[in-house]
Amino acid sequence: MKLNLCRSINNSKSLCKNPWELMRCRTEGCRWWDWGLGIRCIILLPRLCPSGRVSPALGGGTGFHFRDSVLAHEVRTSGQYPLVVSTWPFLQAVRAAWRAVDSGFSAIDAVVEGCSTCEELKCDGTVGPGGSPDENGETTIDALVMDGTTMEVGAVAAMRYVKDGVRAAKLVMQHTEHTLLVGEKASAFAMSMGLPGPTNLSSPESMDKWIKWKKNGCQPNFWKNVLPAKSCGPYHPKDVPSAMDLTKGTCSGSNLLGALASRSSHIGLDNHDTISMAVIDKKGHIAVGTSTNGATFKIPGRVGDGPIAGSSAYVDDEVGACGATGDGDIMMRFLPCLMPAIGWFGSCSAYLHLSDFSYQVVESMRLGMEPKLAAKDAILRIARKYPDFVGAVFAVDKNGVHAGACHGWTFQYSVRSLYMNDVEVFTVLP
């Protein structure tokens, strides 16, 4: 019956006259006609929204128009799980998560296995101990886990002296009513719950890097509008140009723009990396986890996007998951993972709620979204305001369809599914 419905829609010339039927068909699992026709359907749907509402989410007033600088691609697996998706070619981490989930672990436990493998291996020097020294030379840890079934989140931020970030995050989720613990209090909590510490999180390499940076006048750094501008602190506030100066286009205005542009000069692959991982377990439950030691030479106390739900990662079993990496200070202003993981048509859904369409229709749209478009849109929303930002997201829907999008750098993400002999790495060009 379902198949007949799909087939009749497929054969029908008036395909998109009835997008509701089509969306229902999609959500009932007829994926075989999906690619070509799905696109047509998605193009149609926005017409159901007032144009003013939908255009911003589509990246321009004229419908589907993506800037060339943002690329995404999408890969369809056969819709079976378990499945592991992770930022970057962190092969060992993905294998560890895969072994766990394949042997029957829950999505949460597998995500913890995967991310903590990266912490142990100090992936790229930006996960776990021994990397990304702050201005005082100290390494601190940000991590998060989120359960897409219960929507529970546990996270630690700027955690000192404890190397097991993602395990600490899981302890916050499982043994407290809280979501986020920070700083030394997070360390005390983690140790009281049995994690090893206090540990010196610095390494000879991180100290080396830090000493060189100090010798270089503490450049580059993350300060702006301070004096001294070109040497180590202590820093003092410099007069900040007022909004009026900016509209008059004075020199101070162009200085501010200069500061924004120079930001990108000290952001790169070796400076901003996060493992962000999504796992779908054998029951179809989804979890995400992240772990990072943050930005190198950050101002002590800085917390990036890593432990922020909706920014570095987000998950909802009913829809899918998202993971992000990049310039966290910028990305956390946009919550780029929220939209892909709750459904690309968020703005449209809001409208539909107000009108007389049923909730089920909105749900169908949520389920019918394309991960590729969701990932692209998340990146484009940031690029419109910060054309120089560096970042990437992956999105995976609950059926295992995954995609990535990036800006300012080439992004790679890793996948392990039932149909792969080992981890496969997908490359997304900026």
Which residue number, 183 or 241, has a Cβ lying nearer to ligand NAG? 183
Between 80 and 202, whose beta carbon lies closer to ligand NAG?
202
Out of 194, 204, 237, 249, name the contact with ligand NAG by CB under 6 A.
Answer: 204
Residues within window 124-183 making contact with ligand NAG, judged by CB under 6 A: none
Q: How far is the CB of 232 from ligand NAG (least distance, A)?
A: 19
**36 is an interface residue for ligand NAG by CB under 6 A:** no
What distance in Å separates the CA atoms of residue 60 and residue 92, rounded to the nearest whole number? 40
**Per rule CB under 6 A, is residue 202 in the interface with ligand NAG?**
yes
**Residue 216 neighbours by CB under 8 Å, 6+ apart:** none
Which part of the chain contacts ligand NAG (CB under 6 A), choosing from 43-51, 70-78, 173-181, 203-211? 203-211
- Distances in whole angstroms, Cα of residue 128 to Cα of each of 51, 160, 200, 264, 288: 46, 11, 12, 24, 17
For residue 279, the cross-strand partners are 84, 287
Length of the chain: 430
Residue 207 interacts with ligand NAG (CB under 6 A): yes or no: yes
Residue ranges of the binding site for substrate: 302-305, 325-328
Measured from the CB atom, the residue of 198 and 217 that comes closer to ligand NAG is: 198
Separation CA 396–CA 281 (nearest Å): 13
- Considering only the stretches 202-210, 241-249, 333-341, 384-392, report the one whose residues sit in contact with ligand NAG under the rule CB under 6 A: 202-210
Interface with ligand NAG includes 200 (CB under 6 A)?
A: yes
Place of tokens 């800037």: 67
Of the candidates 274, 290, 292, 296, the residue annotated as catalytic is 274
Q: Shortest approach of ligand NAG to residue 133 CB, angstroms?
A: 10
Residue 203 Cβ vs ligand NAG, minimum distance, rounded to whole Å: 6
Asked if residue 92 binds ligand NAG (CB under 6 A), the reply is: no
The CA distance from 396 to 249, in Å, is 44
Helices (H), 148-222: 165-175, 183-192, 204-215
Nearer to ligand NAG, 207 or 269 (CB): 207
Dist CA 321 CA 403 (whole Å): 11
How many residues touch ligand NAG under the rule CB under 6 A: the total is 5
Q: In the chain, what are the helix, strand and coil shares in percent, each to the nearest 5?
A: 40, 20, 40
> Are the C-beta atoms of residues 343 and 386 closer than 8 Å to each other?
no
Binding residues: 302-305, 325-328
199 belongs to the binding site for ligand NAG (CB under 6 A) = no
274 is catalytic: yes
Q: How far apart are CA 145 and CA 46, in angstroms?
A: 33
187: left (phi over 0), alpha (psi -120 to 50) or beta: alpha
Q: What are the residue numbers of the active site? A: 274
Which residues contact ligand NAG (rule: CB under 6 A)? 200, 202-204, 207
